[in-house]
Amino acid sequence: MFLCTMVEVIGNDSHAQGDTVLAQRLRDAGLRPTRQRLLIAELLLDGRHRHVSADSLAREIRDTGTHMAGGTVYNTLNQFTEAGLLRRVTIHNECSVFDTNTDHHHHFYDAERDQLIDIPADAVTLASLPGAPDGHAIRSVDVLIHISPRDD
């Protein structure tokens, strides 16, 4: 069984090619492509727009049959964010979600479902912003609109 599985993995050129592409993407972002980073990159950097917490990603990793410490998952998400591969969305002081869509956009937050929903950047118009405090410049504006089901 092990030999058969290894032959399948070795013979699977598309998987090896995907790892090579992901490894290069990590290197280009200034990160060493460790086994853990490659696994997380494979789950998150496949082109789908997703919102994940460290806990939900840790569960997803466990579902693949791989063991990875929660601290490693959290640290890797932070490293990917610092490298520009992910974007952190802070729901409230105790809750952050990591967004695979790094393009500028905004979010609805449905607390009942604990779900973020993307809003295109051009769908939100701000008439004016306050001036930044002395010695500071506005770097970006992220809008998070909290929603709940209607009571119709």
Block means of pLDDT (10 residues each) for the chain, length 152 residues? Answer: 31 52 95 96 94 95 93 96 96 89 94 92 92 94 92 78
> What is the number of structural domains in the chain?
2
pTM above 0.85, yes or no: no
The answer to whether residues 53 and 68 belong to one domain is yes
What pLDDT shows up at residue 108? 96
Which domain covers residue 144, as residue numbers?
Answer: 103-152
- Residue 114 phi, psi dihedral angles, 5° rounding: 50, 55
Q: Kind of pairing, strands 144-147 and 87-92?
A: unpaired
Amino acid at 137: A
What pLDDT shows up at residue 151? 84
The answer to whether residues 73 and 98 belong to one domain is yes
The answer to whether residues 108 and 71 belong to one domain is no
The answer to whether residues 95 and 122 belong to one domain is no
What pLDDT shows up at residue 17? 53
What pLDDT shows up at residue 14? 41
What pLDDT shows up at residue 35? 94
State which H helix or E strand residue 7 sits in: helix 2-11
**CA-to-CA distance for 107 and 146, rounded, in angstroms?**
9
What's the CATH code of the domain at 80? 1.10.10.10
The answer to whether residues 86 and 130 belong to one domain is no
What pLDDT shows up at residue 45? 94
- Residue 149 phi, psi dihedral angles, 5° rounding: -60, 150
The answer to whether residues 33 and 79 belong to one domain is yes
The answer to whether residues 14 and 35 belong to one domain is yes
Rounded alpha-carbon distances, angstroms, from residue 134 to 17, 27, 106, 127: 50, 37, 27, 22
In the chain, the N- to C-terminal Cα span, in Å, equals 57
The answer to whether residues 77 and 119 belong to one domain is no
